[in-house]
Amino acid sequence: MEIVIRAGEEGFFLTLLNNATTLSQLLQIQAQLILHGIHYDLSSITKLTHKFFDLGAVAHVRQLFNKVSKPDLFLFNVLIRGFSDNGLPKSSIFLYTHLRKKTNLRPDNFTYAFAISAASRLEDERVGVLLHAHSIVDGVASNLFVGSAIVDLYFKFTRAELARKVFDVMPERDTVLWNTMISGFSRNSYFEDSIRVFVDMLDVGLSFDSTTLATVLTAVAELQEYRLGMGIQCLASKKGLHSDVYVLTGLISLYSKCGKSCKGRILFDQIDQPDLISYNAMISGYTFNHETESAVTLFRELLASGQRVNSSTLVGLIPVYLPFNHLQLSRLIQNLSLKIGIILQPSVSTALTTVYCRLNEVQFARQLFDESPEKSLASWNAMISGYTQNGLTDRAISLFQEMMPQLSPNPVTVTSILSACAQLGALSIGKWVHGLIKSERLESNVYVSTALVDMYAKCGSIVEARQLFDLMVDKNVVTWNAMITGYGLHGHGKEALKLFYEMLQSGIPPTGVTFLSILYACSHSGLVSEGNEIFHSMANNYGFQPMSEHYACMVDILGRAGQLTNALEFIERMPLEPGPAVWGALLGACMIHKNTEMANVASKRLFQLDPENVGYYVLLSNIYSTDRNFPKAASVRQVVKKRKLAKTPGCTLIEIDDQQYVFTSGDRSHPQATAIFEMLEKLTGKMREAGYQAETVTTALHDVEDEEKELMVNVHSEKLAIAFGLISTKPGTEIRIIKNLRVCLDCHTATKFISKITERVIVVRDANRFHHFKNGICSCGDYW
């Protein structure tokens, strides 16, 4: 580029700077500024600095600034913003500090807005909080530009409650600030709040723009609020924004997530020249609706159009929502990602990790996770969640503990790890996570609070679960379901019913899970008429067609109450084909009420429907043993042997001083085995004196003497765990154990005696429910 100077022409260099598009051109202009002795002119330096930043030439900016003797506030502002925009927020904060301490200049609203924006890109929120305090002292915190930056800062650090407080005290609010609130809530998964703010914006009569609609549509899509989305589409039409590509893209995502991908495609076809974002939305929409072939076809069209795909394209194509039978496609996408060089992008590797975990290909997932040099929080979340979903709860907890020194958890992280704690019954770790949630100020998140309620309930602390539930300001249907389920697990059927009706009165509509939870609670509390009434209200009052699980609950309700004939008639009237869960419920009831004839009917169907499930054979054998029909019991066991079916071995977990111990029947591997068996022998003697007799009738081995059977049941895993708990804890300490199978009749009876003899509360979680033993009485009332 050849430059010819015409002396006296004002603004000549500024015009050249404005028109420059390459670094080479800028360097030539800089040389001419020096040649003509005007390189100290602040306006020229500021413009040159701005252009260097636009081209990412940060090194040239530093050289230029070092030669400026007296920079003005405008130049400082350009520098603070430029460094931040070029991924150097620490340099921005350094300049802000230099401005305050080394110059006589006073930061203005632009300084604070740019500095706070830079602080939002740091890992530590404390710098941003300090800048907020400075802006208050300097009297500019209420400025719209600064206020929007502060709100955005708090949202980026998941401090939604602080963002809301700042917003609420703002004396003036413009469209940008409202948009920041709507977007911030949506990004932090506070989708209901995002929509609420949008409605408030309409109520105050403030004008919205395409950004407003596109942002709120994201929240509406996540909640799958189809009618609300249609209303927003009408608003867009009235305002003349319906053809805006961002609004159309938001509507495509909305309709796709509401199961209306065909309607999304109609909108997609209205775009004259769809950009990559629009393509990505439609591809993702197809994938979300399990229309994998359509997604792949559109992806090929995108490639044929010559547009270059990005990480969002491939993330949208990865069959995260229904990965089954798509392992090969997922592997092909992984290979393509590797080929085009975006496999290491966190969003791509995270989506693939999620798919592999859902396909139970945990090794693939972990390999991909380990190979990712840059692990985002979402990546950690995907792997932790994957372990939890696949029942590998100990690995989930271990990985969470590995993550903690590197990253702060978000709501997704803690809900996943709380789920792992709930599955494992790891109350001490759950309490530690609860403390972490408090320190990270995540309690206000409804999903986190709901996960806490669920964790405490499933770890045996139903009182703590209810206390947390009552403290929650916002409760969604999942929250109510978690508490109702918790009451059901603990046999508190009446409390579950009361809560169920409170939920209905609060205006929250029940879901299929709600009805399943309350029917389960009725089943384990003998609430037959109440359960029957609720079951029929599903279709009559709420328009829900009961599924197989609901029918199984009703069979369980009738069967447990001894109404076996009614239960069988109920099954015969079912509009659905009865599955294993239904017949299994009837067989379980036959065991409780020792009805061999009906057990034969139920087991015959079960052996046809689920011939590999050894549990049904064991149950039928025990029913025969209870009826003292030992030849029949033996014949059932012979079938098991011939089919080479393996019974799940029973084991019991107990947690002492934050460490977990697992016992199996007759286990002598524990270092304190001698003391444990001595305690068990001592207990057995005291129990016999109190009237205990071992339940030996239903033991699987009929061909041994009763005395030998008694010795066998005396060393069941739950008894060993309780004995260990007694020698390892102070008198009066509550003992909690978890059994992987249903607790046997003898252990249930024995635990009642032990609780009375030792004056201990013993909490047992088995495969079905909780039992709270105190003073020789179980909370289940022997109705289990």
Q: Identify whether 248 is part of a domain.
A: no
- Domain end call among 624, 647, 670: 647
Shared domain check, 550 and 642? yes
- Domain end call among 647, 672, 700: 647
The two tokens of residue 251 are: 């509507």
Whose tokens are 């940060």? That residue is 58
Angle at 504 between CA 501 and CA 507, to 5 degrees: 150
Angle between helices 109-119 and 126-137 (to 10 degrees): 170
**Distant-in-sequence, close-in-space partners of 180: CB < 8 Å, separation ≥ 6:** 148, 151, 152, 155
Shared domain check, 659 and 637? no
Q: Identify whether 595 is part of a domain.
A: yes
From CA 511, how far away is CA 538, in angstroms rounded?
A: 9
Query: How far apart, in Å, are the Cα atoms of 624 and each of 595, 598, 600, 725?
Result: 9, 12, 10, 35
Q: Identify whether 512 is part of a domain.
A: no
CA 724, 729, 732, 733 torsion-angle sign: negative
Q: Which residues pair with 660 in a beta bridge?
A: 655
pTM for the model? 0.73
What is the DSSP-derived secondary structure letter of residue 189? T
Which CATH number does the domain housing residue 591 bear? 1.25.40
From CA 725, how far away is CA 729, in angstroms rounded?
A: 6
From CA 92, how far away is CA 483, in angstroms rounded?
A: 48
The 735-739 sheet, strands edge to edge: 659-664, 651-656, 735-739, 762-765, 770-774, 777-778
Contact 264, 233 (CB under 8 A): no
Greatest Cα-to-Cα distance within the chain, rounded to the nearest angstrom: 117
The two tokens of residue 293 are: 């072939």
- In this prediction, residue 201 carries a pLDDT of 95
Q: Which residues pair with 736 in a beta bridge?
A: 763
From CA 599, how far away is CA 623, in angstroms rounded?
A: 8
- Alpha carbons within 13 A on the beta-carbon side of 302: 24
Determine the structural domain holding residue 714 and report its residue range: 651-778
- In this prediction, residue 445 carries a pLDDT of 87
Shared domain check, 638 and 666? no
From CA 412, how far away is CA 398, in angstroms rounded?
A: 17
From CA 457, how far away is CA 770, in angstroms rounded?
A: 10
Q: Identify whether 639 is part of a domain.
A: yes
From CA 113, how far away is CA 128, in angstroms rounded?
A: 11
What is the total count of domains within the chain? 2
Helices and strands (H, E) in the chain, number of each type: 42, 6
Neighbours of 431 (CB within 10 A): 18
Neighbours of 657 (CB within 10 A): 7
Regarding beta strands 762-765 and 659-664, do their DSSP bridges make them parallel or antiparallel, or are they unpaired? Answer: unpaired
Query: How far apart, in Å, are the Cα atoms of 784 and each of 133, 252, 343, 621?
Result: 59, 50, 52, 19
Shared domain check, 659 and 727? yes
Shared domain check, 656 and 760? yes
Q: Which amino acid makes up residue 428?
A: S
From CA 38, how far away is CA 32, in angstroms rounded?
A: 9
- In this prediction, residue 421 carries a pLDDT of 93
- Helix or strand holding residue 608 (H, E): helix 596-609
Shared domain check, 661 and 718? yes
Contact 334, 365 (CB under 8 A): no
- Helix or strand holding residue 178 (H, E): helix 175-187
- In this prediction, residue 708 carries a pLDDT of 40
Shared domain check, 661 and 602? no
Q: Identify whether 167 is part of a domain.
A: no
The SS3 of residue 736 is: strand
Q: Integer distance in angstroms from the first to the last C-alpha of the chain?
A: 89
**Distant-in-sequence, close-in-space partners of 464: CB < 8 Å, separation ≥ 6:** 456
Instruction: Give tens-digit pLDDT for 602-638.
Output: 999 999 998 888 888 888 888 888 778 888 888 888 8
From CA 84, how far away is CA 82, in angstroms rounded?
A: 5
The two tokens of residue 26 are: 């800028």
CA 326, 328, 334, 339 torsion-angle sign: negative
From CA 378, how far away is CA 490, in angstroms rounded?
A: 35
From CA 444, how far away is CA 192, in angstroms rounded?
A: 14
The two tokens of residue 723 are: 């004995």
Contact 516, 484 (CB under 8 A): no
Query: How far apart, in Å, are the Cα atoms of 706 and each of 710, 711, 712?
Result: 6, 9, 10
Shared domain check, 670 and 755? yes
Shared domain check, 612 and 679? no
From CA 397, how far away is CA 133, in angstroms rounded?
A: 38
Give strand ranges (E) for 253-317.
none
What is the DSSP-derived secondary structure letter of residue 474? S
Q: Identify whether 767 is part of a domain.
A: yes
Shared domain check, 735 and 693? yes
Q: Identify whether 416 is part of a domain.
A: no
Shared domain check, 573 and 627? yes
Shared domain check, 773 and 662? yes
From CA 421, how far away is CA 396, in angstroms rounded?
A: 9
Residue ranges, the chain, pLDDT below 50: 1-10, 698-711
- Domain end call among 627, 647, 667: 647
If you count them, how many residues does the chain have?
784
Q: Identify whether 572 is part of a domain.
A: yes
The two tokens of residue 576 are: 């659905």
- Helix or strand holding residue 196 (H, E): helix 191-203
**Distant-in-sequence, close-in-space partners of 108: CB < 8 Å, separation ≥ 6:** 73, 77, 140
